């Protein structure tokens, strides 16, 4: 600044000298030329003055920050007379939630959360809401590190997970709740970072989309196939590791905070069914039960899973990505029934047509554990506790996944299959109960009267989805790929090129998805099944034929959806989404949800319907 004033003084002196020479015969044109030269010199010096002023402001800001850091460091001085070392300096940030971290990064603590508000409506609401709005997720969470090697997370949902099969139950509460260790003692020769061990409630390592956070998904809800076959969160022990282009996680898991009944005890009744109706005996004898549902006990519910997932990204650059992966899960129900383990033993009954807030559930299997039996026999004639919950011995599931992106274009697809290995003798006994005579309890087991088994000793269900995305504003999905997540390889926050807060339009994207789930096994399904049941129930009543037809296979239904979506992320932490879903194909089932669980009753037949669902979401997360 001093140099500028010196130059200014010099210029003024020069001007005075020029003016003093006017009387010495200088021409007017010469004076004007010199004045113009002087004005040009002054104009050249003005930007330098502005630059000096900017540097002074930056220096004052740096001085203020240094003073603040000094205050933080000074606050970390041990009290006089104390032999303890001073605590480390602590830095606090508010950019994405409340974040606190020590200077050496050994300790950190973050407070985060999310608010997801959904609303929408249905054209042709078969069994859902005409329109509905509500809080889909209202979550608070804390997570962090300790002593450089320990990590932890606790997440609580105040809104719940939505409608649960049959009784409209809503489960709120704990979601993630785990802690773990990632120590140099677990170093791997082929990975930069060491392996980790974690225990608590966490996502089982199964599927790419299943573990992807709702903060970052390209659609409001997961696909039909993922929601049908993914295990979600369970309490367990897991180990994991990751490298530059691969990830692995595997573990052993049991109960879940999202189970319909988290701690079922012996004698706990099934939550689905029709209460037993006792009819007085005209002959004066004891009353007997009509042909309605026999509520079975669970016998306890400690199932367990062994689950693992491996991923590899042969192409992973800033602009291009190719990801492949495979998952496997072994599920042993033990004494569980659909009263608690409904996500496996009543497969598909939680599906809500990819618009959960609207509650339209169209498919789902019956209770595959024999926990709910259509039986007219008085309970004191035959005790079924020996096989209640024993009809399914184990379930083996698998999934394969693919994701690729190039610039703003992205594709993703997954296929799932589940083998149900069942106990033939337990199924037979359950079937005999169904066909028994109400008045006498006699089980017809001779000759051609032996009932057919419900679904047989094995069953296979499958599903898949294919989706594509395009970011109009040029964002690239490859930049959001995350191999370091403790849940396994997934996609995180999209890098927004021109945030709305900085004068841009944020990130705008289009998405389309086709999904399919098939939960049918057996010779009869759809309209054929319903027509045969109607004939044997209403037109030509024949309990034995009705039982044979209903038990000839497992009729969970089949559904295919097409979803179109628009996404807008104005800034990190804010998003608006809109989805339109059309049910392209539905084959109605005998399931727990729509009244078709029991061969004696005909549930609603939705085969051939094509409802349209429209849903919007506003979300904020930090």
- Which CATH number belongs to the domain containing residue 126 in this structure? 2.40.160.10
Q: Minimal CA–CA distance to 230: which of 171, 309, 158, 167?
A: 309
- Same domain (yes/no): 427, 493: yes
| 198 and 321 fall within a common domain | yes
**Is there a single domain that holds both residue 154 and residue 221?**
yes
**Which has more pLDDT, 434 or 490?**
490
Q: How far apart are CA 162 and CA 135, in angstroms?
A: 10
Residue 477: the pLDDT is 96
Q: Which residue has the higher pLDDT, 248 or 276?
A: 248
Percent of the chain predicted with pLDDT > 70: 72
Is residue 406 located within the same domain as residue 539? yes
Residue 94 lies in a domain: no
Q: Is residue 107 part of a domain?
A: no
Residue 318 domain flag: yes
Could you please report the per-residue DSSP string of 224-257? HHHHHH---EEEEEEEEEE-SSEEEEEEEE---T
- The more confident residue out of 274 and 55 is 55
Who wins on pLDDT, 568 or 608?
Answer: 568
One domain, residues 126 and 208: yes
Look at residue 599 in the predicted model and tell me its pLDDT: 40
| 209 and 203 Cβ atoms separated by less than 8 Å | no
Instruction: Provide the number of structural domains found in the chain.
Output: 2
- State residue 467's pLDDT score: 98
Radius of gyration of the chain (CA): 34
Among 486, 484, 483, which Cα is nearest to 239's? 486
Residue 457 lies in a domain: yes
In the prediction, which pLDDT does 598 show? Answer: 43
CB 416 within 8 A of CB 395: no
Top pLDDT among 256 and 427 is at 256
- Report yes or no on whether pTM surpasses 0.85: no
- Is the separation of the CB atoms in 405 and 445 below 8 Å? no
Evaluate whether residue 527 is within a structural domain. Answer: yes
- Measured CA to CA, the distance from residue 179 to residue 146 in angstroms comes to 10
CA angle 564, 125, 346 (to 5 degrees): 85
Q: Which of 75, 92, 121 is at the close of a domain?
A: 75
Residue 494 sits in the same domain as residue 569: yes
Same domain, 48 and 148: no
Q: What confidence category does residue 596 fall into, taking pLDDT thresholds of 50, 70 and 90?
A: very low
Strand partners, 237: 199, 252
Specify whether the CB–CB gap between 166 and 349 falls below 8 A: yes
Q: Is residue 156, in this structure, part of any structural domain at all?
A: yes
Longest dimension (CA), the chain: 146
To which H or E segment does residue 304 belong?
strand 304-316
Residues 6+ apart with CB under 8 A from 217: 209
614 contacts: CB under 8 Å, gap ≥ 6: 120, 121, 122, 123, 355, 578, 579, 580, 581
Sequence-distant (6+) residues with CB within 8 A of 537 are 546, 599, 600, 602
Of 48, 75, 102, the residue that ends a domain is 75
What six digits make up the tokens of 110? Answer: 């973050």
Tokens standing for 1? 């600044």
Residue 28, pLDDT > 90, answer: no
Q: What are phi and psi of 605, to 5 degrees?
A: -100, 105
Structure token digits, residue 8:
């200014």
Q: What is the average per-residue pLDDT within 402-429?
A: 93
The backbone torsions φ and ψ at residue 331, rounded to the nearest 5 degrees and listed phi first, read: -120, 125
Q: Give the pLDDT confidence score for residue 299 in this predicted structure.
A: 53
Q: In 10 A of CB 21, how many CB atoms?
A: 13
Is 274 or 216 the better-scoring residue by pLDDT?
216
Q: Which range among 198-202, 228-232, 344-348, 513-517 shows the weakest confidence by mean pLDDT?
A: 344-348
Is pLDDT of 161 > 50?
A: yes
- Report yes or no on 509 lying in a domain: yes
Where does the pLDDT of residue 390 fall: very low under 50, low under 70, confident under 90, or very high at 90 and above?
A: confident
Q: Are residues 50 and 176 in the same domain?
A: no
* Run of H or E including 132: strand 131-146
> How far is residue 263's CA from residue 335's CA, in Å, rounded to a whole number?
12
In the chain, count H helices and then E strands.
8, 24
Give the chain's end-to-end CA distance (angstroms, integer).
Answer: 45
pLDDT average, residue stretch 185-200: 95
Domain shared by 375 and 446, yes or no: yes
> What domain range is 21 assigned to?
2-75
pLDDT band at 193 (very low <50, low <70, confident <90, very high): very high
Closest Cα to residue 461, out of 388, 516, 381? Answer: 516
* Mean pLDDT within 561-580: 98
Chain centroid, CA 198 distance in Å: 20
Statement: residue 370 has pLDDT above 90: no
| Whether residue 187 is found in the same domain as residue 324 | yes
Domain boundary among 29, 58, 75: 75
Do 277 and 291 contact (CB within 8 A), yes or no?
A: no
Do 183 and 301 lie in one domain? The reply is: yes
Indicate if 524 and 450 belong to the same structural domain.
Answer: yes
Q: Residue 618's pLDDT is what?
A: 98
Considering the domain boundaries, does residue 90 fall inside one? Answer: no
User: Could you report the per-residue pLDDT of 393-408, keeping only the tens digit for each?
Assistant: 999 999 999 999 999 9
At 436, the pLDDT band (50, 70, 90 cuts) reads: low
The torsion region of residue 492 among left (phi > 0), alpha (psi -120 to 50) and beta comes to beta
CA dist., res. 517 & res. 416, Å (int): 9
CB proximity list for 226: less than 8 A, separation 6 or greater = 207, 209, 210, 414, 416, 465
| pLDDT of res. 529 | 80
């Amino acid at each position: 600044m001093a140099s500028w004033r010196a130059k200014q003084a010099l210029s003024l002196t020069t001007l005075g000298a020029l003016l003093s020479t006017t009387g010495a015969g200088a021409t007017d044109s010469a004076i004007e030329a010199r004045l113009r030269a002087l004005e040009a010199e002054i104009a050249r010096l003005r930007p330098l003055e502005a630059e000096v002023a900017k540097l002074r402001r930056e220096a004052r800001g740096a001085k203020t920050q240094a003073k603040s850091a000094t205050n933080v460091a000074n606050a970390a001085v041990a009290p006089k007379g104390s032999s303890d070392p001073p605590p480390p300096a602590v830095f606090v940030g508010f950019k994405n939630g409340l974040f606190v971290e020590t200077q050496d990064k050994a300790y950190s603590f973050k407070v985060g959360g999310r608010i997801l508000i959904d609303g929408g409506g249905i054209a042709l609401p078969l069994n859902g809401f005409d329109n509905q709005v509500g809080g889909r997720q209202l979550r608070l969470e804390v997570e962090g590190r300790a002593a450089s090697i320990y990590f932890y997370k606790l997440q609580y949902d105040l809104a719940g997970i939505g409608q649960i099969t049959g009784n409209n139950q809503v489960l709120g509460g704990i979601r993630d709740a785990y802690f773990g260790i990632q120590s140099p003692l677990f170093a791997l020769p082929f990975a930069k970072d060491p392996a980790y061990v974690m225990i608590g409630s966490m996502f089982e390592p199964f599927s790419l989309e299943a573990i992807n956070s709702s903060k970052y998904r390209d659609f409001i809800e997961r696909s039909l196939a993922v929601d049908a076959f993914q295990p979600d969160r369970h309490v367990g022990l897991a180990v994991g590791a990751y490298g530059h282009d691969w990830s692995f996680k595997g573990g052993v898991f049991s109960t879940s905070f999202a189970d319909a009944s988290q701690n079922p005890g012996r004698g706990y009744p099934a939550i689905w069914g029709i209460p037993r109706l006792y009819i007085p005996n005209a002959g004066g004898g004891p009353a007997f039960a009509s042909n309605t549902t026999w509520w079975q006990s669970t016998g306890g519910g400690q199932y367990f899973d062994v689950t693992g997932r491996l991923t590899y990204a042969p192409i992973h650059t800033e602009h291009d990505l190719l990801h492949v992966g495979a998952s496997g899960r072994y599920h042993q129900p033990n004494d569980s029934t659909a009263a608690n383990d409904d996500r496996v033993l009543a497969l598909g009954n939680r599906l809500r047509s990819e618009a959960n807030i609207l509650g339209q559930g169209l498919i789902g299997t019956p209770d595959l554990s024999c926990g709910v039996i259509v039986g007219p026999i008085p309970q004191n004639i035959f005790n079924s506790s020996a096989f209640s919950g024993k009809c399914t011995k184990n379930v083996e599931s698998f999934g394969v996944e693919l994701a690729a992106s190039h610039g703003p274009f992205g594709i993703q697809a997954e296929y799932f299959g589940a083998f149900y290995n069942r106990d033939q003798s337990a199924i037979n006994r359950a079937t005999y109960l169904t066909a028994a005579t109400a008045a006498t309890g006699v089980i017809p087991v001779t000759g051609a009267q032996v009932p057919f088994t419900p679904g047989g000793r094995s069953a296979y269900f499958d599903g898949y989805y294919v989706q594509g995305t395009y970011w109009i504003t040029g964002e690239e999905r490859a930049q959001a790929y995350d191999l370091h997540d403790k849940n396994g390889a997934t996609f995180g926050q999209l890098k927004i090129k021109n945030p709305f807060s900085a004068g841009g339009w944020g990130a705008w994207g289009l998405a389309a998805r086709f999904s399919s789930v098939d939960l049918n096994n057996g010779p009869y399904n759809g309209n054929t099944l319903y027509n045969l049941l109607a004939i044997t129930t209403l037109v030509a009543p024949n309990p034995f034929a009705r039982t044979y037809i209903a038990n000839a296979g497992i009729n969970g239904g089949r559904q295919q959806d097409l979803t179109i979506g628009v996404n807008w992320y104005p800034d990190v932490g804010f998003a608006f989404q809109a989805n339109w879903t059309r049910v392209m194909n539905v084959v109605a089932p005998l399931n727990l949800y729509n009244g078709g669980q029991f061969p004696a009753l005909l549930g609603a037949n939705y085969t051939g319907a094509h409802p349209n669902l429209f849903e919007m979401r506003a979300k904020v997360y930090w």
